[in-house]
Structure 1
Amino acid sequence: MITVSFTLPEPGSPWRRTWNDVRCERAVDLGEMDLRYKYFAANVELSVNGVEFISKRRFVTLVDLALSISGVVRRVSSGGEAAFGFTESDEVVRVTRDGDLVRLSSSNRPEVVSLPQDELIVEFRRFLHSVHSRMVAEVPELVRNPTVQKILPPV
């Protein structure tokens, strides 16, 4: 079983500014680097079969993670393997193939977990749609931003 979700920072949290400050910008013109590393910090949880790969207490930049996960979806869907990391961390999560299963492993912990490839793809796509929907709900102009459009993987 895979859990991948996010929550916004609490009002009053300094991390909430990463959501509020984007409203002061012309969101459609924000570049990929700013969106990846300056805006939209969130608590993200990624766990598979009880093994926590991203703690829900950890703040990560949501666009950076979403674009990385979108790349994982594309590569794994086409039969490849993938890896993704986190802003300001040397941790890397690898997704490798094992028949109809995929294995997830982290450079920071010894556990390796397996799950059906289809389950990973479905949950990662759901997460990406949720990220995109929430960002556009918060800042509607982002729907036209080229970087934000890349979050949703091809169908």
Structure 2
Amino acid sequence: MIHFSFTLPDPDSPWRETWDRAEHANPADISEMDLRYKYFGVRARLTVDDVEVISDRGFVTLVDLALSIAWAGKQIAAGHDSAFNFTEAAEVIRLHADGQRIEMSSSVKPWTVTVARDQLLGEFTKLRQEAHACLITQVPGLAEHPVIRRIPPEQGMPEQ
């Protein structure tokens, strides 16, 4: 069983400021670097069976998370190995393609899990759709931003 989700910071959390600043900025003027690393902190969680692949004890930025899994998903869909990480963490989540199965492992933790390729790609797609919807709901002006437009899977296209 695989589950990938995120939650926004509580209103009293210092991470809420990463959303509030964006709501008061001109979305068209926000650079990709700032979108990926300065705005939209969330608690993300990825579990496979009983293994916590990504812990929700810390924060990651939603745009970086979504774009990272978009790239990793494209590699996996093409039958290649991949990996993703977050700037603020030393850990790399490695994805090894083995036919219709994906072996996931950590560069710093002693776990390895295996998941069906289609199931992983489905969770990646769902998270990207939810991230995109959340971003444009919270900051409607982001809907036309070229970086944000790269987040959701294209309509009618397989996960890439």
Q: TM-score, normalised by structure 2?
A: 0.94
State the identity %. 45
- The equivalent of 2:62 in structure 1 is 62
SS where residue 111 of structure 2 aligns?
A: strand
SS where residue 137 of structure 1 aligns?
A: helix
Residue 99 of structure 1, CA deviation: 1.9
- Aligned runs of 1:1-150 on 2, under 5 Å? 1-150=1-150
Residue 88 of structure 1, CA deviation: 1.5
SS where residue 90 of structure 2 aligns?
A: coil
SS where residue 109 of structure 1 aligns?
A: coil
1:29 touches 1:145 (CA, 8 Å); kept in 2?
Answer: no
State the distance in 2 between where 1:46 and 1:58 align. 13
RMSD: 0.9
- Aligned amino acid, residue 143 of structure 1: A
1:36 touches 1:64 (CA, 8 Å); kept in 2?
Answer: yes
* 1:94-124 per-position Cα deviation (integer Å, ceiling 9, x unaligned): 1111121001101111111001100000111
State the distance in 2 between where 1:123 and 1:28 align. 29
1:67 touches 1:150 (CA, 8 Å); kept in 2?
Answer: yes
2:129 touches 2:153 (CA, 8 Å); kept in 1?
Answer: no
Q: TM-score, normalised by structure 1?
A: 0.96
SS where residue 3 of structure 1 aligns?
A: strand
State the distance in 2 between where 1:131 and 1:43 align. 12
Could you tell me which runs of 5 or more consecutive residues in structure 1 were left unpaired when the two chains were aligned.
none
Could you tell me which runs of 5 or more consecutive residues in structure 2 were left unpaired when the two chains were aligned.
none
Residue 126 of structure 1, CA deviation: 0.2
State the distance in 2 between where 1:114 and 1:55 align. 18
